[in-house]
Amino acid sequence: MTPVMYSDISGEFPILAILAVTAIVGLSLTIAGVASNNNTMTAIGLTMVAVPALITGGLAAFATTATLTNIIGGVTIAAGLGTATFASAEWQQTLTGDNWILNSGMSEKLYNGLMIGVASLATLGTAASSFSYSFRINSIQNFGKYGDYYGMRFDTAAGKTRVLSFHTHDHGAGFSQWHWQLQKYNPYTGKAASTICRWVWWKLWQMG
């Protein structure tokens, strides 16, 4: 029986996942800030969304040649810039009482709707960019059953085919937790080959 190995070849997935969690917390603060009419909370929330979006989007767009990752990164950067724009207006309102976007004549309803919409897209983009960049996803081939588990088959920028599944089973010693598993794949025989790494879903860092 092969034990679960908490190893991550690159170490990027956990680091980028932390940024995605930061963005989710930021989006929650943004929504809470809007609901309670608290500009400071909204400004902090938007900043927590914008910075991770620009970092992960930048990596996904420019630090790999994987096509799908580049596209996701481009969208995330655009949403991150949009979020940063709203953040600048919220910080201005916090510090001076003025809001340059609202001063331009935009209605508050449209302003809040656009702000939450753009921040939501940036948060989603941060998670997608983190995920796609970590695995250098060039194109998604299929979602289906591979061996005993359902997963996603994709091609990497290096031209390799991989399978990522999310499942639970007993690993012996009473161990059974939901985890990600990344495997190599033989496209010629259609079989998933050796396991590259596994992560328990709620642990974002290498466990050794």
Which residues in the 39-98 window bind another protein by CB under 8 A? Answer: none
Strands lying side by side in the sheet with 191-200: 137-146, 149-156, 161-167, 179-186, 191-200
For residue 49 the two structure tokens come to: 């969304």
Query: CA–CA separation, 50 vs 116, rounded Å?
Result: 12
Residue 67 or 103: the one with the smaller Cβ distance to another protein is 67
Query: CA–CA separation, 79 vs 116, rounded Å?
Result: 11
Window 155-184: contact mask with another protein (x via CB under 8 A):
---xxx--------x-x---------x-xx
User: Is-contact 79 28, C-beta < 8 A?
Assistant: no
Least separation in angstroms between residue 1's CB and another protein is: 7
* Residue among 2, 96, 104, 107 that touches another protein (CB under 8 A): 2
* Residue among 85, 88, 195, 206 that touches another protein (CB under 8 A): 195
Distances (CA, A) of 91 to 29, 38, 87, 132, 146: 14, 11, 6, 32, 49
Could you say whether residue 187 binds another protein (CB under 8 A)?
yes
Of 58-66, 71-79, 100-108, 185-193, which part binds another protein (CB under 8 A)? 185-193
Largest CA distance in the chain: 66
Could you say whether residue 206 binds another protein (CB under 8 A)?
no
Binding site for another protein (CB under 8 A): 1-2, 147, 158-160, 169, 171, 181, 183-184, 186-189, 191-195
